């Protein structure tokens, strides 16, 4: 993860009912409007699959209902 993604995930973990917005640059320096939406564990199948995954490392978090497990990210070019 880059610094902005880390900030976004930390924010969403602390504020799961909100979104995170940022303006970032792509590899070519083009500005992008970026919106992060929390991807929450809403069904037992979500957290059970992640918690029981065969390649799950010891440092991987244990998820429960409503935990933020990631984010859906939308990038829109800014002209």
pTM strictly above 0.75? yes
Strand (E) positions, the chain?
A: 20-25, 31-40, 68-77
* pLDDT confidence band for 21 (50 / 70 / 90): very high
- Please give the pLDDT value at position 6: 93
Q: What is the pLDDT of residue 79?
A: 78
- φ and ψ at residue 24, rounded to 5 degrees: -125, 175
Question: Dihedral angle at the C-alpha atoms of 67, 70, 74, 77, nearest 10 degrees?
Answer: 130
Residue range 27-79, pLDDT digits in tens: 899 999 999 999 999 999 999 998 998 888 888 889 999 999 989 999 999 97
């Amino acid at each position: 993860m880059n610094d902005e993604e880390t900030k976004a995930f930390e924010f969403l973990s602390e504020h799961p009912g909100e979104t995170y917005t940022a303006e970032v640059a792509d590899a070519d320096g083009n500005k992008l409007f970026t919106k992060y939406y929390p991807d929450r564990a809403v069904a037992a199948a979500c957290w059970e699959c992640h918690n029981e995954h065969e390649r799950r490392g010891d440092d991987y978090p244990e998820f429960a209902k409503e935990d933020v497990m990631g984010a859906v990210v939308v990038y829109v070019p800014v002209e």
